[in-house]
Amino acid sequence: MRTKFFAATLSFAFLSGCTTMVQQVTYGSYEKSILSGQVDLATDAAIAKADVNAETGKAEDLLWSLEAGALLRFSKKYDESTGFFDDAEALMKQEDTEHLGSEALDGASSLLVNDSVADYEQAHYDGIMANTYKALNFMFNGDNSNARVEWNRVDDRQRRAAEDFAEKIAKLKEEIRAENEKEDNDQYREVTNQSISHVEELVASQGIDFSEWKAYGNYVNPFSTYMHGLFFMLNAQGSGDFSKAYDSMRRVASMTGNSTAKSDMVLADNLYRGRTSLKKMKPTVWVVFENGLGPKKDELRIDLPVFLASDNVSYSGMALPKLVEREQAFPTLSINDTETRILSEMDRVVQAEFKAEFPYILTREVTRTVLKTIAQKQLNDKDPMMGLAGAIAQMATTGADLRIWYSLPKDFQLAKLNKPKNGALTITAPGMESPLNVQLDPKARFSIVYVRAVSPTVTPSIDVVNI
C-alpha cells in the first residue's frame, strides 16, 4: 500500500510540478523569437497557445489571445489582430462574471499546487491596452468609425480604472479572508502569521523595494489617454470632440509633464473655444514610439522556516513572482533632428498594479506552503515513507505564477514637428543600424507616424495615419 501511495505521489509531482521550468522554457523561447526578429515564429506560437476552438473560431486562452493580437499588429495584420483582442475581451468579461463555484474550484486547485494552475486573471492594464490596440488597428485601417467606438471604450475604462482596481483588490482580500475562516486552527494561524513576517524580511533582503513604484493618477495609462485625445482632436465632428480631447490632454499633461501633451492641451482648448481651427493649423506630424519590451516575471525561491512544534518535515519552501525590467530598443528616436520624449512608462503601469496585489500574492503563497507543510508533517508522523512522498510532491508543486502580457512595450515616447514641405522624414536612433525613411502623403495636413521597435537588432514596424 505504501509503495502504491509513494508511486502515485511521485506521478502527481511529476505531472503537476516543475511548473516554473515549463513557464520559463515557454516564455524564454517566445521572448528569444521576438528579440531575434522571428516575429512570425513567435506569432504562430502565440496563436497555437491561444487555443482557437475549431467549431466557434474563438480563442479560449485569454493571455495568449492578447499576445497573438499584439504580435499580429507588428506584422500589420490588423483584422486578425482585432479578432484576437475581441476574443480576449470576451474572456475578460467571462472572468469578471465567473460563477463563485468556479472561482472556489480555481482557488482550491491553486492551494494544492500553485497559482499557475488557476485561470489567468487579467491585470487592469490588460483591458485598457486591448482596447487601445484595437482602436489603433482601426485607425491604421482607415476605419475612423470603429476607431471612435474603441477610443470611447478606452476612455470609459480609464475613467473607471481606480474603482475597478479597488474592486479587484477587495476580491483578493475576500479570498484570503475566506481561506483563513476555513482553517479555524490556532496552530495554523500562528504558523502563518510568523511565516509571513519572516518572508517579508527575506523579500526585503533580496533588494526588492516597492517604495519607488508609484501609479500614475488613478491607475491610468497616460499613453492610452493621450491617444484618445489626439484622435478626437484631429478627427473632431464638433466642439464636443474638442472638449474630450482637451480633457484627455489635460489629464496626461498633469500626470507626466510631457511638453507635447502640454502643447496639445493648449491647442485642444483653443480649438474648443474657437480661437483657431484645424484648417488654420500648420501641417503637423506626430511621431509615436512604442519602445522595447515591458517587465517580465521571474521566480524568487525561498526556503521557508515554518514554525512548527516539530522539525519532522523534509522540505518546506515557497516561490514568489518578481518583476524583472527589460531593455529599451532605443533610448530615443530622432526625426529630422526632433527627438522623442517619454510619455508613459509601461514598466510603471505594471509595477503599480503588482505592488498593490503583492501582499495578497504573498499571503496566499504562505498559506499554501503552511498547509502543505503541516500535511507533510502529519504524514511523516504516521509513516516516514509517506512523509517523504509528501515532501517530494510539495517540492515539485512549489512554483511562482510567471504569467504576464509578455509583448507589451517598456515605454511610449512622443515627438511633434512641422510637416516637411517634401513630406520626407528620416528617423535615426543611437544603435540603429540604418535610418528609417518615411514618405508622407503630400495631400494630408496631419500625419501620425507610429513606430514599434522591440530590440535594436530588429527593423522597427512603421504605420502612418494620414488625416
Express each pLDDT in 195-222 by its tens digit.
677 677 777 777 677 887 888 988 999 9
Name residue, grid cell 504605420: 463
pLDDT given at position 390: 66
pLDDT given at position 18: 61
CB 310 within 8 A of CB 334: no
pLDDT given at position 275: 97
Residue segments in the chain with a per-residue pLDDT below the cut of 50 = 1-17, 99-102, 104-105, 107-109, 306-310
pLDDT given at position 71: 97
Residue 118 — φ and ψ, nearest 5°? -80, 160
Query: Over the range 231-252, which residues count as b (16 or more CB within 10 Å of their CB) and which as e?
Result: bbbbbbeeeebbbbbbbbbbbb
Q: Give the model confidence (pLDDT) of 325-350 as tens digits.
A: 999 999 999 999 899 999 999 999 99
Q: In what order do the strands lie in the sheet with 284-291?
A: 341-345, 411-418, 284-291, 446-453, 461-466
Which pTM value belongs to this model? 0.88
CA diameter of the chain: 87
- At 253 the three-state DSSP class reads helix
- The whole-angstrom separation of Cα 286 and Cα 282 is 13
CB atoms inside a 10 Å sphere around CB 332 = 16
pLDDT given at position 6: 42
Write the CB contacts of 196 (distance below 8 Å, at least 6 apart in sequence).
362, 363, 366
Residue 195 — φ and ψ, nearest 5°? -65, -40
